[in-house]
Structure 1
């Protein structure tokens, strides 16, 4: 198992050139399976984990989320980026405290967003949003750990799809020390290219959590360095579960099991894989 320092170095190097996919597991099993497939890094999904633990998205308590992040960090050889939502605080000091706790889990990276959770005012005011990113940067620097900071602006998925404001915020976050910039919800070639060019040479993460005409190669050609899928893998798993169980409950039919993964295949993978885990 690589050390946290080695994972952090690997993660930072992944952003130097090219483009990589960073899929989002929601538990240890899905994380280990993604590692088995050869991905270079992973990222948590706050939504995916919330549903698996019986919470609504953005309702998982900080200590519960930190325990989940720490568990995935220990379970994987790969660098892990934490979807750390809004830092579990409104004020910059609270964000700094939360970030310090997240760094201690051994993550290679973490993201902080500017969403408030308030539908009437979905984004923090510009100055406060910027102060929160500065606080996250300062907390990481104070820790002495080379954790990669991603700053997110959420306008495109919170009913405020303003490209000028999105770029304004991303540029300010970059100047405040963010290592990577992220505007979930941009979908078109034009939107992606505009964001990439606006914050260059800082790397950009692009979210693809829906069917898209764009391929990984297409997004790479637009200049993105990282592609994540958010809660899409978890929702895909839930989709299969819901379809199967509805057939069972509504009509007494077992046909929903037709696409189930073979138990023998998963048993073989996890039996071999578990032997490689570090001692608790």
Structure 2
């Protein structure tokens, strides 16, 4: 079984309280930690990788992002999906080639830009081009940005999900959807649903699974948690009494 076949299989046949939990490594060292802990696959967060490389979220050059994903993939023997934001303006064929070149088994692709939400029909057409170029070689996770863009109507997310699934998305990701609307989203969406969890806050992954999540990711939450731990250690060292 290939890496992408293993990754795709992890999304199916799950019971409600056992969603697929995908930690988000931001570098090779964190990837090794998560793999050693027994997670069967990983999913990079673009914001976490950006922070590790010294960029603001959304400002990482494509070459730097793909190089970071390549280092993470080389560091572990579990499948790795890559958050490649909006695709960096690459044509579908080139995007697919670059993802396969670095060894990713899948990708997140979001449907908004700095200017706001993309037209769903146009975005679905672009996703269909990615699917055509990738065939079955990549798992496509279509991020839906309605909730983070101030569109609170679950129906808008469900409509976009239907268009993206029809275009070939393997999974949809209504990022930042409130936990209370997850059962409604689950009922209206065909196929796997990715839900964002916040480490140490809100419902547990198991609880989110019972509400309708197929898989759980954390965005940059784990990287920021690690950064806080480093900051606390640095502050203790900086204020240690001198002898």
Same fold flag (TM > 0.5): yes
> What per-residue deviation string (whole Å, max 9, x for no partner) do you get for residues 142-193 of structure 1?
xxx52111111112123333322111101110111100111110131x3111
Pick one of 136, 156, 160 that aligns with 2:147: 156
Structure 1 consecutive aligned stretches of length 4 or more whose deviation exceeds 4 Å:
none
Give distance in 2, aligned partners of 1:234 and 1:220: 23
More deviation, 147-156/214-223: 214-223
- Which of 92, 113, 117 does residue 116 from structure 1 map onto? 113
Per-residue Cα deviation, 1:124-151 (whole angstroms, up to 9, x for no partner) = 112222122112111212xxx5211111
Equivalent residue of 2:186, what SS?
helix
Q: CA offset at residue 247 of structure 1?
A: 5.6
1:38 aligns with 2:38: yes
Which residue matches 1:269?
none
Work out whether residues 23 and 43 of structure 1, in 8 Å CA contact, stay in contact via their aligned partners in 2: yes
SS at match of 1:239: helix
Q: Deviations over 1:99-142 (max 9, x none)?
A: 33112222111111101122xxx11112222122112111212x
Return the TM-score normalized by structure 1.
0.79
Mapped to 2, the partners of 1:113 and 1:183 lie a distance apart of 10
* Residue 99 (1) aligns with residue 96 (2): yes
Q: Tell me, which stretches of 5 or more residues in structure 1 are unaligned?
A: 256-280
Q: 1:182 aligns with which of 146, 151, 173?
A: 173
Is the partner of 2:147 in helix, strand or coil? helix
Alignment partner of 2:119 out of 97, 119, 125:
125
Q: Relative contact order: is structure 1 or structure 2 higher (C-alpha 8 Å, sep ≥ 6)?
A: 2
Matching of residues 27-106 of structure 1 within 5 Å: 27-89=27-89, 94-106=91-103
> Quick one: distance in 1 between partners of 2:199 and 2:34?
19
Aligned to 2:240: 254
* Aligned-pair CA distance for 1:243: 3.5
8 A contact 1:171–1:199 mirrored in 2: yes
**The structure with more radius of gyration:** 1
RMSD value over aligned CA atoms?
1.9
TM, length-normalised to structure 2: 0.90
Report the count of equivalent residues: 237
Report what 1:266 is aligned to: none
Q: Could you tell me whether the CA contact under 8 Å between 1:17 and 1:225 is conserved in 2?
A: no
Unaligned residue ranges in structure 2 (runs of 5+):
none
